[in-house]
Structure 1
């Protein structure tokens, strides 16, 4: 018999090498053939299902107290080396099925319950012989039973037959056991190995079961022909055994009588005992009832004692909660609001708040909340709260009015003649700050009580702010030494007047406006922020005290106690309350409304002195607008927006008036020389560019667009009054516009666009005027050429000489009359160009354009003559160019 591959040590070592690093021990390795086909006959696979050589290896791995078992499938690589192909866990093995179609019985399938694709049939494994098959399957079953405690379902083979085979062949199947590895330098854990070999008979069928089966089979080995006869024989023997049992029972009757007599005596004793037990049970029940009654009375007494103690403690706490300290009553009803007594007032407010919260229905037991004493005490606290709020509100209203009256009575607090006074609110804010905490307590007591206080504060301080702004504005304008009339009347007066020189300096106007904003915008922002926090609006922290919106130190920055930021560190809110923000903006309008009129007066005054200064004023205002982002600066943002709109409106009026002057100029000007506004626009644009100084260009660019568009439209309308000289008038004006605006157009994109527009209009006017002069002197020559061009589109060139008026004779006559005195004609053309032109500096460029245009037309004429009259000779283009150059 050939040696089985399961005993091949080389194969086992190759398998161990293939799975090296997995910490698994190979229990058995055996060669098999893998296929997925169906057996048809003689153990041959169907077409397309060729068997592949594989090696099945059973391996185990010890992990703690558990042993894991695996079935590995290894295949041969190209070099004949084993490498892992598949790995199955034996804990998922659910079925072992021997293929019935294989006559040899050496093919089987292993079914696993965790395969993802159950629609694909599992692979079939074919062994070399039945011994290898039984040996492998027995090893799998033993490992499953030892390691997992169960065996899979076996289909297609008899377990008893396998047990008999195992007994005859006496192989030993290694059982899964713990492994022990010898400690070395690379391992710290110790694993115990047991070399236990278990026989197949003990694992599948026990020894006793096997002996019973052999006895049974030996007893009935003879005379058994059919299953029915065997069954009838067993039934007869069963009836015989039952009859024998009944007979044996009947033979034991004397013994049964003795047992029954003993049972009767025992029953009598039990009845006597039952009567005694009944008597004892009644007595015990009565005793139990007495004990229960005593315990109930005792429990009620204990419960009553505990309840009385707890009730006493609760009543003491309630009385403590209802007690009103007399010193707090005195402070809340008729206390003084002097600065020295404010700390005591704050303590009384805090106690009152705590007492009111303590008597809220949600803070007390519902039974206490309905008590008459609690209701009466709550009413008393409400009366105290109302009296305190009324007294504090009346004091604060009078206090605010008194502060403002003192400021108004001091004339040194305001600007006077010859002296600009920056408003100083340091002492004012410090005095208000003393009562900031009082306002916070009033808000906690009743939020609605702040509404009249805010109105009183706004009414008192609004008059002060308006007075300060008005006095400052009046003195600012009076002390500014501005020119009486710096307005650029750039359309009036003769060309070359003093307007072309340096205009009066109006920079002090912009400086005055900037000073107005520098002084009052930070002041108004700080006052808005102070008011928002002083009057306890639920808005985030807005502008830090001592800094204006532009990041500079404000005029109040010398006093560290002016800000409201540190009144209550826990009062700042992280989010925005839209309703509270709307209330704040409305209150700020009451506080600061009216100050805008004096700002408007400064803007109107500055724009009246020099309308172009609107550009500087617009830039100054825009910078302040971009820096005001805080919520408390809402009124200031609106004020700056209104100022910017008013400045834009004033500048728009100036631009509209200038456009009106241009249009009015159309009705009065005569078509001579260059229009005044064409040459003077560059002066206006230069001043406007000086006032921009890096700010937003939208305002100026819109003005440029409007002015230049009106200028060009008016220029075209004036040119239409005399069509004979229209082109000369246009080219001179467009040339003057380009010459004056050349430098600005290189740096201003909007002006560059109009510069190119003027350049195109200039070229068109030049082209029309030059063509008119050329045709005036050489009308017959170029009219003859035009007739030839018209005919060439309909007839062949060689037929043109036979047309009426285009014969060779007519050509010679025309050349004689047009070119006989060509030098005189060219001189006349130059004189005509010079006579009509008013700007001598344009003559050289126009004459060059005229000569070039004449040569181009003459060259076209020469090409026509060469095509139509090839035998005729005319003066060449080179001769004509030399003639023009010599003149």
Structure 2
């Protein structure tokens, strides 16, 4: 047999040279013939289907974790040198099929699952003989099994036949077919070393022995499938017949089992009958036991209920019993201070007794019992009697307390002695009956309204008497000279000196009135709210007006022992019954308690206004401080009183401002006025005084007055100026200058006055400009009139044409210059004298003269520029000469 091309070393080296650089090792190389055919049909020979010589090479590439295997197709180039043509990865090999059209079996195809077009027939590889074919296919299958762990599908060739062929040709298989996981073959090994045995075959030894035994068993009929199938059927029928025979032989044993089952069934039926009998007897016995237990339970329940009924009746009788000492105290006991403990104790018992007979505390089944209804009616009668007696006593008691205090004149302010009201003893005596009032409210809340009216009526007389006597003595003991309200009138007199007198005692007296009575009224309101059991949100603590007081005069006697303060709404003490209705009722009662006392505060305000109207500013600031110190819902009447006082003070001050404005307006009715008007310096004095009186937040009040004053002052000044237009600018500039000079210091610290200061400054500049222009044109009218005509024409015609216009020739220019500037020093002196002539404020003359010279120089400079442009050949005095002349004047 000819040597296989698989053993051709030259061919292998040629293949390795062709794939040099790919790091792949050639395992086998063999020559084949490549041809194409159509699937399912024999290939027709043609030009494109002629067999072509190719070399198939199986190569491997070792990686770190696995080995990759490839199938390479190499072709011969023009020079007979092998070069790579195709590369297939064996991991994609899915089918090996021997072509059945080739009778020799040497032609096969290899199917890969990653080819793009499966519709094109794969190439057919034809070997020289079957041994070469088997050798290549065995090499491919071994590599797939060892490297990839799987075998492709083999079609058209028997695997057993392949295994037998491999076993027969084991000595001729080289090491390339051995397990490739042991690594590539070393290049230095000899040909004898390359001969190895097949360690891994397609069929294992055990499988081969089983197959041989099976084939040996049926060797007689293996060649004919039908005979083999008939033999298997006969053996199957023989086995089934043997199974049936075995079953029939066991029939006696089955009969014995059935007999045993019948006897067992009879025993079970007998036992079930006996159990039914026992069950009926047990049921009857259980019914008897339940009947006995039911009768026994009823007897026990009856005994327990009787015992509980006796206990409940005892408790009910205890509730219905009225102790004789309580009944006597409620119907005819005394309300003296020494007996108040007994009265309170009786009230508590009566309250609890009434509650115990109501449905929440009493079982609803008892509520309609005759005895309970009778006892409830008796308790209601006791309650009505006690409430009537206690209410009558308290009404008389409040009136007697106040009458006793009013009858004692030493209790009030007297001539030469201011008496601070002291209600400590009054409140102490009232607190004796505070708990009684709380019990009266719980017994009958409707009885409190008459008591509240009686208390308010009695105490209102006391408070009004105290305020009247205190206010009268306060005004009588305050020494202050009266300042007239004629502040800004036009006539001059000694009133200016009177205005400088100190009237601070007036505002101090008003502050003392507030300091004494506002805390007193707030404390009285708080005491009344708590004493008369108003359940309202609390507003201020006792003596809570400390922030609004002056002189530190706190109500020490009351502040330490009165737990009657009303806290702020935010400090919720979780009292029940807080409602808007209670708060409204409280405010109504406080109005009855304090109404009328405001007249004495008004009298102090009016008295202070008559002495010094400017003291309204101080009083306004004092009132604002007290308002800010009050809570929004404190004693409601006190808040209203302070708001009314603030409104009255504002009204009085507005009255003063209106009168002062009227005095300013009277100035315009006089005959021609010159110089600084009288109300300008008087306003500066007034503003200085007003700034001294500002306290607290009175800034808005004063700023509004400033706005009214200055507005009227400026309007009046303009009207006076319009009455004499010839001297209007002199009057305006002098008065605006005086306004600025007198208010310079105040304008630096008072924003409102600063605004009017700047307004006066602008008006002053405008008046100065108009007056100076008038004086300049009076002396140099022809000169600047000529310049104005040139300016009018220069916008319409060229400068060269102007000298040819009528009245603007060079001769006309010379005449105007000669007439106006020939005695210019005398004309400038005349300007100065005219400026000085009508000016009454000599201190303004230097600044006005400087403005006049500056304005004249600017006008002359403009004239000189026009002459130089229109009459370049004419000579006039230069601007420098004119500046030097003005400087020397």
TM over 0.5: yes
Mapping 1:804-823, distance limit 5 Å: 804-823=806-825
434, 437, 441: which one aligns with 1:436: 434
2: CA distance between counterparts of 1:233 and 1:412? Answer: 153
Q: Is the 8 A contact 1:420 1:475 kept in 2?
A: yes
2:563 matched residue in structure 1: 564
1:736 matched residue in structure 2: 738
2:536 matched residue in structure 1: 539
Map Cα deviations across residues 430-483 of structure 1 (whole Å, 9 max, x no partner): 111111122222333343332222222111111111111111112222222332
1:512 matched residue in structure 2: 509
Cα 1:274–1:781 change in 2 (3 A) is closer
1:61 matched residue in structure 2: none
Mapping 1:341-356, distance limit 5 Å: 341-356=339-354
330, 333, 336: which one aligns with 1:335: 333
Q: CA deviation at 1:330?
A: 2.6
629, 647, 656: which one aligns with 1:654: 656
1:754 matched residue in structure 2: 756
306, 320, 323: which one aligns with 1:322: 320
1: CA distance between counterparts of 2:442 and 2:675? Answer: 82
Cα 1:134–1:564 change in 2 (3 A) is farther
Cα 1:781–1:549 change in 2 (3 A) is same
Cα 1:245–1:591 change in 2 (3 A) is farther
Cα 1:259–1:835 change in 2 (3 A) is closer
Q: CA deviation at 1:859?
A: 1.1
> Structure 1 stretch 617-626 or stretch 318-327: which is displaced more?
318-327
Give SS of 1:809's match: helix
Q: CA deviation at 1:248?
A: 4.7
Map Cα deviations across residues 821-869 of structure 1 (whole Å, 9 max, x no partner): 1122122222222222222222222222111111111111111111111
Q: CA deviation at 1:792?
A: 1.0
Q: CA deviation at 1:280?
A: 4.8
Q: Is the 8 A contact 2:541 2:565 kept in 1?
A: no
Cα 1:433–1:222 change in 2 (3 A) is farther
Map Cα deviations across residues 744-773 of structure 1 (whole Å, 9 max, x no partner): 222222112212211211111111111111
Cα 1:268–1:654 change in 2 (3 A) is closer
2: CA distance between counterparts of 1:487 and 1:304? Answer: 103
Aligned alpha-carbon RMSD (Å): 4.0
Cα 1:328–1:883 change in 2 (3 A) is same
2:302 matched residue in structure 1: 304
Q: CA deviation at 1:343?
A: 2.1
1:140 matched residue in structure 2: none
Cα 1:801–1:331 change in 2 (3 A) is same
Q: Is the 8 A contact 2:548 2:625 kept in 1?
A: no
Q: Is the 8 A contact 1:540 1:573 kept in 2?
A: no
2: CA distance between counterparts of 1:865 and 1:336? Answer: 121
Map Cα deviations across residues 107-128 of structure 1 (whole Å, 9 max, x no partner): xxxxxxxxxxxxxxxxxxxxx9
Give SS of 1:305's match: helix
TM-score under structure 2 normalisation?
Answer: 0.71
Q: CA deviation at 1:612?
A: 1.2
Mapping 1:588-667, distance limit 5 Å: 588-629=590-631, 631-667=633-669
Mapping 1:228-267, distance limit 5 Å: 248=246, 250-255=248-253
TM-score under structure 1 normalisation?
Answer: 0.71
1: CA distance between counterparts of 2:611 and 2:867? Answer: 71
1:125 matched residue in structure 2: none
Map Cα deviations across residues 571-609 of structure 1 (whole Å, 9 max, x no partner): 944796433322222221111111001111111111122
Map Cα deviations across residues 713-742 of structure 1 (whole Å, 9 max, x no partner): 011011111111111121122122222222
Query: Which structure 1 segments of 5+ residues have no match?
Result: 1-29, 34-39, 46-99, 104-127, 136-168, 170-210
1:449 matched residue in structure 2: 447
Q: Is the 8 A contact 2:733 2:763 kept in 1?
A: yes
830, 833, 840: which one aligns with 2:832: 830
Q: CA deviation at 1:885?
A: 2.6
Q: CA deviation at 1:302?
A: 1.9
2:496 matched residue in structure 1: 499
1:401 matched residue in structure 2: 399
Give SS of 2:723's match: coil
Q: CA deviation at 1:387?
A: 2.9
Cα 1:262–1:761 change in 2 (3 A) is closer
2:464 matched residue in structure 1: 466
Map Cα deviations across residues 280-302 of structure 1 (whole Å, 9 max, x no partner): 55544443333332222122212
2:525 matched residue in structure 1: 528
Map Cα deviations across residues 291-325 of structure 1 (whole Å, 9 max, x no partner): 33222212221222222223333333333333333
586, 589, 604: which one aligns with 1:587: 589
2: CA distance between counterparts of 1:846 and 1:267? Answer: 151
1:479 matched residue in structure 2: 477
Map Cα deviations across residues 507-533 of structure 1 (whole Å, 9 max, x no partner): 222122111111111111111111121
Q: Is the 8 A contact 2:616 2:653 kept in 1?
A: yes
Map Cα deviations across residues 646-667 of structure 1 (whole Å, 9 max, x no partner): 0000010111111122223212
Q: Is the 8 A contact 1:425 1:556 kept in 2?
A: no
2:186 matched residue in structure 1: none
2: CA distance between counterparts of 1:680 and 1:319? Answer: 93
Larger-gyration structure (1/2): 2
Q: CA deviation at 1:245?
A: 6.0
Map Cα deviations across residues 648-705 of structure 1 (whole Å, 9 max, x no partner): 0001011111112222321234232322212321121122122115653111111011
Mapping 1:207-218, distance limit 5 Å: none
2:793 matched residue in structure 1: 791
1: CA distance between counterparts of 2:750 and 2:679? Answer: 19
